[in-house]
Amino acid sequence: MKLQGIFPALTTCFDPDGELSKSKTVYNISKLNKIALSGYVVCGSTGETPLLSTDERVQQMHWIAEAAAEGKMLIAGVGAESVHETVRLSALAADAGFHAALVLGPFYYRVQMHKPDLQLLFFRSVADRSKLPVLLYNIPQVTGYDLPVDTIAALSEHPNIIGMKDSSGNVEKLKETVQAAKPGFQVMSGAGVNFLDALHGGAAGAILAIANALPYACVTVWEAFRTREYEAGQDWQTRISPAGRLIATKYGIPGLKYAMELNGYYGGPPRLPFLPPSAEAKAEIEQAFDGLRS
């Protein structure tokens, strides 16, 4: 399975009552289908997944699989604290028509779980049992644990572990990971502020929250890299980075959803306890995205 190009890490569409909205989900996917995106990632951190029930996660998978255009690769976030539940979610994603599982390591019991041997055991046990090929998910901002390079390299030897999403933003470590991992292990950047640098460092593509609001711009960076128009790629990365940084470090998912609205996508309300951005925040987001609107 070859991973390359740009994948939006999809947001979850809620109606004003806080319920999942099928119509708005299909609306967004139908618009994104027209762009040269490689596929979609559902139920990651951008999708407010900790605030969803298992039934809601599976419902999202089915709606997106039904709405996605032919040829789009579908990746399901199946993160759970136990091997048992992670494998069960992976099976449900396979039944929904997904092609790969994005697996977050356990982190709730930090003292015990933040150890390389237990992380190795977890990911290998999931990969042994998963119906879908596995992508490791490294996001220390959430887990409090940054998977070591030697741990990733060891996991890359597993026949059902095909790559990883690295959202740490550490490009130097990403380069080390690419060099240390088994040939064919595909590393995807998860950092919108510097994914061009990650591509130059050996990343196969990027799974990006900011691609919900700026899909054309993100694809433009990828195409410029692919065709070796490096100056054009850097120009677009420079345009994207301030907006991406503002969302990533200050306004998070509620801010991203408002930015989506600016570009004609449905953002909608976040789920409580998240709150919509204030009037002041909206003004700052509008300024950051000025000139980047589709």
The radius of gyration of the chain's CA atoms, rounded to the nearest angstrom, is 18
For the chain, the average pLDDT equals 97
pLDDT in tens, 37-71: 999 999 999 999 999 999 999 999 999 999 999 99
Any catalytic annotation for residue 165?
yes
Q: How many C-beta atoms lie closer than 10 Å to residue 159's C-beta? A: 9
Q: How many C-beta atoms lie closer than 10 Å to residue 138's C-beta? A: 25
pLDDT on residue 1: 85
Domains of the chain in sequence order: 5-230 (3.20.20.70)
pLDDT in tens, 228-287: 999 999 999 999 999 999 999 999 999 999 999 999 999 999 999 999 999 999 999 999
Tell me: pLDDT of 159 over 70: yes
Unique residue bearing structure tokens 């609001």? 213
Whole-number Å distance between alpha carbons of 206 and 238: 16
Nearest to 153 by CA among 188, 207, 105, 116: 116
pLDDT in tens, 78-98: 999 999 999 999 999 999 999
- C-alpha 215: how far from its chain's center? 13
Sequence-distant (≥ 6) Cβ neighbours of residue 91 within 8 angstroms = 130, 131
Tell me: pLDDT of 134 over 60: yes
**Which residues are registered as beta bridge partners of 189?**
166, 206
CA dihedral 256, 12, 138, 55 (to 10 degrees): 160
Tell me: pLDDT of 157 over 90: yes
Instruction: Kindly tell me the sign of the dihedral angle through the C-alpha atoms of 37, 42, 44, 49.
Output: positive
**Which residues are registered as beta bridge partners of 206?**
6, 189
Three-state secondary structure call for residue 173 = helix
Number of H helices, E strands in the chain: 13, 8
Three-state secondary structure call for residue 168 = coil
Q: Which of the residues 2, 31, 165, 175 is marked catalytic?
A: 165
